[in-house]
C-alpha cells in the first residue's frame, strides 16, 4: 500500500476468513485516521473469524487510535453496493467450503477455488478483466492448478485474465511464456480500471 501510494480505501470486501486473506487488517488504522471507520463486507462465517482473530478491534474499552475502526457489513448471495459500485457475490468451492468471489462491473475477482459451479460461471459473461486462482502445477485439494485455471479462463473468455495466489513453484517469467494470449500472471502493484456498468 505504501509502495503504490494508496491514499484512500473505500472498503474491504472479504472472500473468506483464511489467515492469508485476513491477517494485515490492523494496517487499516492509517486510513481510519484520515477517513474514520472503514466498512468491511463479509459473509457471517468470515465475519465471525474476523471478530475472533481481531477481538481487540471490537473491544469498546480500547482507545480508538489503538485499534482498527471497522463497520462489519454482512453479505450473502445477493448483490451489494460498495462506494457506488455494485458487487455480485460469485459462489465458489474452496475444497469443501463455500466462499465468495465477486463480480463488479466488467471485472471479477475469484480466488481460492478448487471448483467453480456452472451457475457461477453463468454470472461471468462479457468480462473485461478476470482474476483466477492458479496455485501451482501439482494438484491441490482446495486450489486450482495452472492447467485448471487456463481451462477456466478459456471457458469464461474475459478480454484479460490474471492469475493470482501462485506459489513459489511457478517462476514468473518462465510461466508467463507458457500462457495463452490474454492470460497473465498477476504481479505486485498491478492496477486495473473497472467499467462500473456490467
Find out whether 72 and 54 touch, Cβ atoms under 8 Å. Answer: no
- Give the Cα separation of 104 and 120 in Å (integer): 14
Find out whether 11 and 87 touch, Cβ atoms under 8 Å. Answer: no
Stretch that binds Zn ion, among 33-41, 53-61, 109-117, 152-160 (CB under 5 A): 109-117
Least CB distance to Zn ion at residue 159 (A): 25
Least CB distance to Zn ion at residue 188 (A): 16
Least CB distance to Zn ion at residue 48 (A): 16
Site size with Zn ion, rule: CB under 5 A: 3
Q: Give whichever of 20 and 151 is closer to Zn ion, judged by the CB atom.
A: 20
Q: Give whichever of 10 and 20 is closer to Zn ion, judged by the CB atom.
A: 20
Our finding on whether 133 is near Zn ion (CB under 5 A) is no
Report the largest interatomic distance among the alpha carbons of the chain, rounded to a whole angstrom. Answer: 54
Our finding on whether 160 is near Zn ion (CB under 5 A) is no
Phi, psi of 174, rounded to the nearest 5 degrees: -65, -40
Q: Give whichever of 112 and 148 is closer to Zn ion, judged by the CB atom.
A: 112
Our finding on whether 20 is near Zn ion (CB under 5 A) is yes
Our finding on whether 112 is near Zn ion (CB under 5 A) is yes
Least CB distance to Zn ion at residue 196 (A): 27
Q: Give whichever of 67 and 152 is closer to Zn ion, judged by the CB atom.
A: 152
Whose CA is closest to 25, among 44, 4, 39, 35? 39
Least CB distance to Zn ion at residue 138 (A): 16
H-helix or E-strand spanning residue 118: helix 118-121
3-class SS of residue 27 = helix
Phi, psi of 144, rounded to the nearest 5 degrees: -85, 145
Q: Give whichever of 57 and 166 is closer to Zn ion, judged by the CB atom.
A: 166
CA 155 to chain CA centroid, nearest Å: 20
Which residues of this chain interact with Zn ion, rule CB under 5 A? 18, 20, 112
Amino acid at each position: 500500500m505504501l509502495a503504490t501510494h494508496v491514499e484512500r480505501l473505500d472498503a474491504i470486501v472479504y472472500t473468506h476468513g483464511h489467515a492469508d486473506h485476513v491477517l494485515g487488517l490492523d494496517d487499516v488504522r492509517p486510513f481510519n485516521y484520515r477517513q474514520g471507520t472503514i466498512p468491511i463486507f463479509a459473509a457471517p462465517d468470515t465475519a465471525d473469524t474476523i471478530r475472533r482473530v481481531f477481538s481487540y478491534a471490537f473491544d469498546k474499552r480500547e482507545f480508538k487510535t489503538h485499534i482498527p475502526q471497522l463497520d462489519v457489513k454482512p453479505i450473502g448471495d445477493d448483490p451489494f453496493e460498495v462506494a457506488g459500485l455494485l458487487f455480485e457475490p460469485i459462489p465458489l468451492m474452496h475444497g469443501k467450503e463455500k466462499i465468495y468471489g465477486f463480480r463488479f462491473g466488467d471485472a471479477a475477482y475469484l480466488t481460492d477455488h478448487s471448483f467453480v459451479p456452472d451457475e457461477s460461471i453463468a454470472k461471468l459473461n462479457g468480462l473485461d478483466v478476470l482474476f483466477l486462482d492458479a496455485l501451482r502445477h501439482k494438484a491441490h485439494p482446495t486450489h486450482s492448478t495452472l492447467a485448471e485455471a487456463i481451462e477456466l479462463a478459456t471457458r469464461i473468455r474475459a478480454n484479460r485474465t490474471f492469475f493470482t495466489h501462485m506459489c513459489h513453484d511457478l517462476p514468473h517469467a518462465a510461466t508467463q511464456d507458457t500462457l495463452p494470449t490474454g492470460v497473465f500472471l498477476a504481479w505486485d502493484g498491478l492496477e486495473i480500471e473497472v467499467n462500473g456498468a456490467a
